[in-house]
Structure 1
Amino acid sequence: MAVTDEAITKIKDMLISGELKAGDRLPPEKDLSERLGLSRSSLREAVKALELIRVLDVRRGDGTYVTSLEPSILMETMSFVVDLHQENSAAQLLEVRRILEPGSASLAARRISPEAAADLRDCVAVVGENSSEEELVAHDLAFHARIAKASGNSYLQSLLDGLAGSTMRSRIWNELTLDKAVAATLAEHAAIARAISTGDPDLARALMTVHVSGVELRLSQAA
């Protein structure tokens, strides 16, 4: 194991054991390196790596702190990777969405609050087939984000948020516009919203599966 990897593992062990908790300030570099049996240079490299993935927050002149460790923060790295690879990996990303989003819709149908259900319906109501591509992309991101949030599972929500690349969404809606399928796709959104709002998890799952699979098929045909 590389020295930096060893340093990362030791800090991770401190987090897992509860020795370090969200919001805690790390001991001074000299004290921590001696305590962990590491050189200060390897500890410094480990801290840099953990800062990049949002586990640690280095505050210049103040110290190094553990972040909140919320899934939404830790998953930001995945969002960055998706943005870099989405043009070459659109089919694989849609496969992942096809696996996760039906489950998200099913959970949302079981757990959504009346207020969130009304908000989801409003999200569907404000767009139409004559909306601009920019408006359709914004709607699509908001629609799926609301469902993920309503699932009540913060890890699932963070995973789906990380997959929500705006560039790929623009490509999807461009293809839908060319296929004259915007109205049909928005109708699918409305049907999913109704199933979730009325508390029908099986229907919500089925409709979401068909919806994402349809998008997946259109993109594969256009490739």
Structure 2
Amino acid sequence: MTDARPAPRARPARRLLRQEVADGIKRFILDNRLRPGDPLPTETELCEALGASRSSVREAVKVLDALDIVEVRHGHGTYVGRLSLSSLVEALAFRGLLSPDDDFQVLADLVDVRELFEQGMADRIVASLDGAQLDRLDALVARMREHGAQAAAVDDGGADLVPADRAFHALLVAPLGNQLIGQLSVAFWDVYAIVAPRLDGFTDADRAATVTAHQSIVDAARAGDIKGFTRALGEHYAPVRRRIAEARAHRPDPA
């Protein structure tokens, strides 16, 4: 009996060409040692340099723009992008929101990564923080404490602490002077902040414990106490670990 199913289509050459043009633009950036914010050649110049059509260049630029490798400024031209990790944040957050196997596994993994990330560099972080930076961390803890007191009667999932918490962890690794570490730290935090609202049960006690743990982190860093610093980081992540465990325990069995 003859198989009447249609043969699979070959991969469109247009898609392959678009990727080749995108790779060519990336090579141009590297070969010319361009930096974020530097202008790229015009569309016409890119067509000539890469031997590609105008449509292929436009499609490649759209792909690279979505990845933050280039930035299109309408009316001004195309520039090297900020090279942020925004695409990584979106992909991980989407995975966390749609995970079909275990909605809370991605959250647990993120907590593990964030904690190991900071604890693994504890000695370097403590050694790098100076007095002014520690004072700024103290100020952020004070802001958390103030917001926590104002929102103690409101079940907001800890949203009142979010801006100061994000700034705290960004500042914690900033003195290392490693841009990639800073971007990864903030990216992991952003993914967690997007997915975490799926958890319930952030209590006043959790809010208070979070503030206390942040204060302990600063105090340990100021004292040069690496063990205390590491312990305080663990205490900081304890409330969310409890909430993940409780959410898993109360999750309905699949039909």
Q: Please state which band the TM-score falls in when normalised by the shorter chain.
A: 0.7 to 0.9
Paired amino acid for 1:78:
L
Gap change, CA 1:181 and 1:62, over 3 Å in 2 = closer
Q: Indicate the residue corresponding to 1:125 in structure 2.
A: 142
The more displaced of 20-29 and 44-53 is 20-29
Q: Secondary structure at the match of 1:58?
A: strand
**Higher Rg:** 2
Aligned partners of 2:164, 2:74: CA distance in 1, in Å? Answer: 39
Q: Secondary structure at the match of 2:40?
A: coil
User: 2:209 touches 2:236 (CA, 8 Å); kept in 1?
Assistant: no
Q: Indicate the residue corresponding to 1:141 in structure 2.
A: 166
Q: Secondary structure at the match of 1:57?
A: strand
Q: Choose from 31, 34, 46 the match for 2:45.
A: 31
Q: Indicate the residue corresponding to 2:58 in structure 1.
A: 44
Q: TM-score, normalised by structure 1?
A: 0.81
User: 1:107 touches 1:151 (CA, 8 Å); kept in 2?
Assistant: yes
Map 1:76-155 → 2, pairs under 5 A: 76-87=86-97, 88=103, 89-126=106-143, 127=145, 130-132=149-151, 133-155=158-180
Gap change, CA 1:177 and 1:161, over 3 Å in 2 = same
Map 1:137-216 → 2, pairs under 5 A: 137-165=162-190, 166-170=193-197, 175-177=201-203, 180-212=205-237, 215-216=240-241
Paired amino acid for 1:114:
G
User: 2:71 touches 2:80 (CA, 8 Å); kept in 1?
Assistant: yes
What are the Cα deviations for residues 135-191 of structure 1, in whole angstroms up to 9, with x where unaligned? 23333223222213244322111112112233445556x53317x333333222211
Aligned partners of 2:36, 2:161: CA distance in 1, in Å? Answer: 38
Aligned partners of 1:78, 1:48: CA distance in 2, in Å? Answer: 17
Gap change, CA 1:169 and 1:149, over 3 Å in 2 = farther
- CA RMSD in angstroms comes to 2.8
Aligned partners of 2:203, 2:220: CA distance in 1, in Å? Answer: 25
Q: Which has the higher contact order (CA 8 A, sep 6+)?
A: 1
Aligned partners of 1:18, 1:99: CA distance in 2, in Å? Answer: 37
Paired amino acid for 1:196:
A
What are the Cα deviations for residues 21-46 of structure 1, in whole angstroms up to 9, with x where unaligned? 44332223233222223232222111
Unpaired stretches in structure 2, ≥5 consecutive residues? 1-14, 98-102, 152-157, 249-255
Unpaired stretches in structure 1, ≥5 consecutive residues? none
User: 1:121 touches 1:190 (CA, 8 Å); kept in 2?
Assistant: yes
The more displaced of 55-64 and 160-169 is 160-169
